[in-house]
Amino acid sequence: MPSFDTVLEPDMVKVRNSVDASAKEISTRFDFKGTSASIEFKDKEKEIHATGDAEFQLEQIEGVLYAKLTKQGVVLGFVDKQEKIEKLGGDRVKQVYKIKSGLEAAEAKKVVAAIKNSKLKVQAAIEGDIVRITGKSLDDLQAAQGVLRKELADLPLSFDNYRK
């Protein structure tokens, strides 16, 4: 039976490219000259670290980052800005942005509920941090994708691992 996986996973290459482009712009912008403003991507932790001399610089860095992410096609729903701004030595401050990946249990249950409420002839099963949707025909699976995009527009879902 045909199936696909519903996941909550950004394209990490696009995220890295966005951070690299942001770092390049920050290093060349006139208003950041002579400051310690910087941004970097931590692969293992799936975090973006922005540092600056003051909180207003962090806001400017955030604007640059969000513009680059949007330009690359990364949905900003994947970026989780941490509330706490860390104080570093001197006047320096640091902001951490976590990159969301994987469906949490509550989100996975929303996906399954949306599929069941749609009355389509497909089955949804939670498997770890993904939801596998199986059906008898590809048309049913495409209809299920449409339902998920419509019902759960607030979640940046992506669909992969298509099997026939």
Cα gap 136→51, rounded to integer Å? 52
pLDDT at residue 129 in the model: 87
Give the whole-angstrom CA distance, residue 134 versus residue 55.
48
**Is the fold of 3-9+102-163 the same as that of 12-99?**
yes
Q: How far apart are the first and last CA of the chain?
A: 6
Strand partners, 11: none
Structure pTM? 0.79
pLDDT at 8: 86
Quick one: CA torsion of 59, 60, 64, 69, rounded to 10 degrees?
0
The whole-number pLDDT of residue 101 equals: 84
| CATH 3.30.465.10 holds for 12-99 | no
Q: Which residues contact 39 (CB under 8 A, 6 or more apart)?
A: 19, 22, 23, 26, 48, 49, 50, 51, 61, 64, 65
Task: Please report, for the chain, the start and end positions of each structural domain, with discontinuous segments joined by +.
Answer: 3-9+102-163, 12-99
What local confidence, expressed as pLDDT, does residue 103 receive?
A: 85
List the pLDDT tens digit at each of the 164 positions of the chain: 888 988 888 889 999 999 999 999 999 989 888 888 999 999 898 999 999 998 889 999 999 999 999 999 988 888 888 888 888 888 899 999 999 888 888 888 988 999 999 888 999 999 888 999 999 988 889 999 999 999 888 888 888 888 88
Architecture in CATH of 3-9+102-163: 2-Layer Sandwich (3.30)
pLDDT of 72:
92
For residues 133 and 149, what is the distance between their CA atoms, to the nearest angstrom?
14
